[in-house]
Amino acid sequence: MLQKNFSGFILETGTDEAGRGCLAGPVTAAAIILPQDFENTILNDSKQLSEKTRALLRPVIEQQAVCFAVTHLFPDEIDEINILNASMKGMQECILKLKHVPEYIIVDGNRSINAKLGLKNTFGKQFSKAEIELLKSIPNQSIIKGDGKFLSIAAASILAKTYRDEYMDQIHEEFPMYNWKQNKGYPTKEHREAIKKYGTTKYHRMSFRLLPEQLTLDFLE
């Protein structure tokens, strides 16, 4: 069973992301504060659950949460600041969107939530000095495989995954030949074959290795 709390603080926030390894679409982050009495025996790391179970859990999580936030960071920004920084920035943005200022943050992975604050990039949100200082002021702990250890990180992983999948289903209608409704932008054989045949779109991450050879790729508007 997943643990309820790491720090002992009431307003402890769990945060996670989805889509880091994809070739197309955003990286999506989520942050959530759960009530102290929250219990759910099904909730787990989103990767360990079926799409149907994730869909069932999302409204339960949203209805019972103290507060939560979700953020998409899109390919232009990913290409400019790299996927690791984009993943962290997405989680930082979620923290700032929460209705309550967290007393403590636990983040899935091995990198502090305070890493690389205030990147001066062309795309996406620019943090103010006050926002940077707020993020610096909140104690936090990175936890390797935290989405399989703590309820709040697992809940954040569900939100990030379901909101991202929903977005990929929407843009699938614009470019159905890549079958994003099925592969969600991940580097499946089918997705790579479609890139090879049709070229790239505005939703592809051009800083990623889309194919072993990219010299012949075309770009679709």
CA angle 198, 199, 203 (to 5 degrees): 110
Distance CA 99, CA 11 (A): 11
Query: What is the model's pTM?
Result: 0.93
Exposed e or buried b per residue across 124-139, where buried means at least 16 C-beta atoms within 10 angstroms of its C-beta: bbebeeebeeebeebe
| Domain range list for the chain | 12-172
Q: Is the pLDDT of residue 193 over 70?
A: yes
* pLDDT tier, 198 (very low <50, low <70, confident <90, very high otherwise): very high
Alpha-carbon distance 148 to 5, whole Å? 13
pLDDT, tens only, 65-98: 999 999 999 999 999 999 999 999 999 999 999 9
For the record, the structure tokens of 104 come out as 């403590």
Overall average pLDDT of the 164-176 stretch: 98
Answer whether residue 138 shows pLDDT above 90.
yes
State which CATH number among 3.30.1360.120, 3.30.420.10, 3.10.20.30, 3.20.20.10 fits the domain covering 12-172: 3.30.420.10
Q: From the centroid of its chain, how far is CA 129?
A: 24
Q: If you write DSSP's letter for every residue of 160-185 in order, what string do you get?
A: HHHHHHHHHHHHHTTSGGG-HHHHTT
Residue 215: its pLDDT value, please?
A: 46
pLDDT of residue 220: 57
Q: Give the orientation angle of helix 151-172 with respect to helix 51-64, to 10 degrees.
A: 120
Q: Which two tokens stand for residue 205?
A: 């991450």
φ, ψ of residue 44 to 5 degrees: the values are -160, 175
Q: What is the per-residue DSSP string for 126-166? A: ---HHHHHHHHHS-EEEETTGGGTBHHHHHHHHHHHHHHHH
Task: Give me the percent of the chain exceeding a pLDDT of 90.
Answer: 87
Query: Does the pLDDT value for residue 13 go beyond 60?
Result: yes
